């Protein structure tokens, strides 16, 4: 009778593990029927030592790709299946994968497909929440894939969210992107229900707005977005109601006159109607591109993107946080209550608002709906990072002598790190080769409850603006 050899397969064994085990088994001439692959990795089993002279295994490229998917599958027979196929390849069936009707090939292809689907779902359904960890903003997410796809899925997030630090925890391990390098670690316990009212609201609003009742296919939706992922996806709380009211909404849509095209469609059609081949000037092109920006969910709930305004020859650029309620409605920066304080302080410092460029770190209004009101929410690193591209573009075009950073969000965007504004206010910093005067945000002055403190702080703000003016004048001499 043939003696069976058992091989321990570590639960997170990837293609390297498979290759090592397979090399060893092949070197010992073990037929697939002579090996039992213990997929839960708990037995005190034969761990095949790799003989020194174990031959290198040559695998066709398609087979290598198949291995890299199939090893991630959670099926217990994944290694046995691959070893059987490999044995056949080594025995001369180099084209085994082309035999589409072969039961082993079919099963391996099914496993590979399931893994690819799981990777896709992880990319689509992972939801990050911002947390402060050891004084640094960190985006954390919990995701439960069906297969062991963390290592396969993680590089996508590193590409997509290069400029933030993040951790994705799963029941079979964690992936962390910190200081621009990717690390994998052991699993952690499932966290209690994740809760971040602000971010959750943004996702729900985004989902509600983009949901098209006329295209609702409940079965397809459930197949695409399996219910087991719902607990970590804030937008799913809106789903039952959207599904319930879909029919009525479709009827209403049919009876309504056609909607006005969305703003970016206007922009596109204007461009198409414009002189053929004529590129818009760089600032207009930048603003136009910012109108179509979908890098973070804020665009979904805001009325419009609010870009900077002022002469492109300005020697001073003022950077605020984000448009407020009034700015969002009017499409211009600093026109609401904070804008009034700002205008008064500028005038007192002898600065002509018409001669400076005024903009924001974040170009869409972030708010929390409360009844009919929209309550301002401070933008987080996710939005500041996503929007930094536009601010940089404005500054690169204008090349001012001095940038005045109003408040912590502007400083975060300009410095690329959190800045203690009250400590550094009045100072002139050099950030990314730009001279930046740090000061408080005008809305901070509106929030001070004690009138004496408010008056003193306002005077300090005007003094900061005077300093900025003087500095610019000197730089121009």
For ligand URA, the binding residues (CB under 6 A) are 320-324, 327, 333-334, 336, 338-339, 360, 443
Rounded to a whole number of angstroms, the minimum distance from the CB of residue 442 to ligand URA is 7
For residue 289, what are the CA distances in angstroms to 265, 306, 426? 12, 12, 34
Burial class (CB in 10 A: 0-12, 13-18, 19+), 371: exposed
CB 380 within 8 A of CB 387: no
Q: Which is nearer to ligand URA, 5 or 376 (CB)?
A: 376
Shortest distance, position 315 Cβ to ligand URA, whole Å: 21
* Residue closer to ligand URA (CB basis): 322 or 377: 322
The smaller minimum CB distance to ligand URA, of residues 145 and 323, is found at 323
Among 428, 429, 470, 462, CA closest to 445: 462
Query: Could you tell me the two tokens for 186?
Result: 């052991």
Q: Is 196 helix (H, G, I), strand (E, B) or coil?
A: coil
User: Considering the complex, what minimum distance in angstroms separates the CB of residue 409 from ligand URA?
Assistant: 7
Taking the C-alpha atoms of residue 301 and residue 203, their distance in angstroms, rounded to an integer, is 10
Minimal distance, residue 237 CB to ligand URA, in Å? 30
Q: Is 14 exposed, middle or buried (0-12, 13-18, 19+ CB in 10 A)?
A: middle
Per DSSP (E only), the strands in 339-475 are 357-360, 367-370, 373-376, 402-406, 428-431, 434-439
By C-beta, is 97 or 468 nearer to ligand URA?
468
**Shortest Cβ 299–ligand URA spacing (Å):** 16
Q: What b/e readout covers 266-291, taking b as 16+ CB neighbours within 10 angstroms?
A: ebeeeeeeeeeeeeeeeeeebbbbbb
Query: 245: part of which helix (H) or strand (E)?
Result: helix 239-255
| Cα 37 to Cα 81: distance, rounded to the nearest angstrom | 10
Nearer to ligand URA, 338 or 387 (CB): 338
Cβ 376 to ligand URA, closest distance in Å? 8
Q: Which is nearer to ligand URA, 234 or 323 (CB)?
A: 323
* Token pair of 417 as six digits: 């790190």
Q: How far is the CB of 407 from ligand URA (least distance, A)?
A: 7
In whole angstroms, how close is the CB of 336 to ligand URA at the nearest point?
A: 6
Phi then psi dihedrals of residue 440, to 5 deg: -80, 170
Q: Which is nearer to ligand URA, 234 or 407 (CB)?
A: 407
> What is the DSSP-derived secondary structure letter of residue 309?
B
Cβ at position 138, least distance to ligand URA in Å:
25
Q: Are 291 and 263 in contact (CB under 8 A)?
A: yes
Give me the least distance between CB of 331 and ligand URA, in Å please.
Answer: 11
Cα–Cα dist 195/127, whole Å: 11
- Give the shortest CB-304-to-ligand URA separation in angstroms: 13
Nearer to ligand URA, 105 or 437 (CB): 437
**For residue 279, how far is the Cα from the chain centroid?**
31
CB-nearest residue to ligand URA = 320
Residues 6+ apart with CB under 8 A from 430: 436
Question: Least distance (Å) from ligand URA to the CB of residue 326?
Answer: 8
CA distance 410 to 440: 10
Q: Which residue has the tokens 């390849």?
A: 89
C-beta closer to ligand URA: residue 323 or 400: 323
Q: Quick check: helix, strand or coil at residue 1?
A: coil
Please report the DSSP string for 158-182 in residue order: HHHTTTS-EEEEETTEEEEEETTEE
Tokens at 94, concatenated? 């180099």
- 37 vs 307, which CB is nearer to ligand URA? 307
d(CA 198, CA 450): 29
Q: Closer CB to ligand URA, residue 332 or residue 460?
A: 332
CB closer to ligand URA out of 297 and 442: 442
């Amino acid at each position: 009778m043939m003696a069976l050899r058992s091989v321990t397969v570590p639960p997170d064994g990837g293609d390297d593990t498979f290759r090592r085990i397979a090399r060893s088994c092949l070197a010992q001439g073990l037929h697939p029927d002579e090996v039992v692959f213990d997929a839960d990795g708990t037995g005190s089993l034969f761990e095949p030592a790799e003989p020194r002279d174990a031959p290198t295994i040559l695998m066709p490229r398609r087979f290598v790709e198949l291995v890299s998917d199939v090893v991630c599958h959670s099926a217990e027979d994944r290694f046995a299946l691959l070893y059987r196929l490999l044995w056949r390849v080594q025995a001369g069936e180099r084209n085994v994968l082309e035999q589409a009707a072969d039961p082993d090939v079919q099963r391996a292809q099914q496993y590979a497909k399931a893994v690819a689907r799981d990777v896709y779902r992880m990319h689509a359904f992972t939801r990050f929440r911002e947390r402060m960890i050891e004084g640094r903003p960190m985006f954390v997410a919990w995701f439960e894939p069906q297969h062991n796809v963390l290592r396969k899925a993680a590089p996508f997030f590193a590409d997509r969210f290069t400029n933030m630090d993040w951790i994705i925890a799963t029941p079979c391990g964690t992936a962390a992107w910190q200081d621009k390098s990717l690390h994998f670690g052991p699993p952690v316990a499932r966290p209690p229900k994740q809760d971040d009212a602000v971010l959750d609201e943004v996702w729900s609003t985004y989902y509600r707005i983009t949901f098209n009742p006329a295209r609702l296919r409940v079965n397809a939706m459930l197949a695409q977005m399996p219910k087991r992922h719902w607990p970590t996806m804030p937008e799913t709380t809106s789903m039952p109601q959207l599904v319930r009211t879909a029919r009525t909404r479709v009827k209403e849509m049919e009876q309504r006159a056609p909607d006005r095209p969305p703003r970016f469609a206007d922009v596109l059609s204007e461009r198409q109607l414009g002189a053929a081949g004529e590129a818009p000037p760089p600032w207009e092109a930048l603003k136009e591109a910012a109108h179509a920006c979908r890098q973070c969910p804020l665009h979904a709930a805001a009325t419009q993107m609010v870009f900077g305004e002022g002469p492109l020859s300005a020697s001073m650029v003022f950077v605020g946080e984000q448009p407020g309620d009034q700015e969002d409605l009017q499409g211009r920066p600093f026109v609401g209550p904070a804008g009034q304080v700002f205008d008064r302080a500028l005038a007192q410092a002898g600065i002509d608002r018409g001669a400076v460029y005024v903009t924001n770190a974040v170009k869409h209004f972030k708010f929390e709906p409360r009844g009919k009101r929209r309550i301002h929410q401070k933008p987080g690193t996710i939005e500041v990072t996503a929007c930094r591209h536009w601010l940089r573009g404005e500054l690169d075009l204008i090349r001012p002598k001095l940038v005045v950073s109003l408040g912590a969000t502007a400083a975060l965007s300009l410095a690329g790190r959190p800045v203690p504004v009250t400590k550094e206010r009045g100072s002139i910093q050099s950030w990314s080769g730009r001279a930046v005067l740090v000061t408080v945000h005008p809305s901070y002055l509106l929030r001070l409850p004690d009138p004496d403190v408010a008056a003193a702080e306002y005077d300090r703000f005007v003094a900061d603006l005077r300093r900025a003016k003087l500095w610019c004048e000197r730089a121009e001499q």
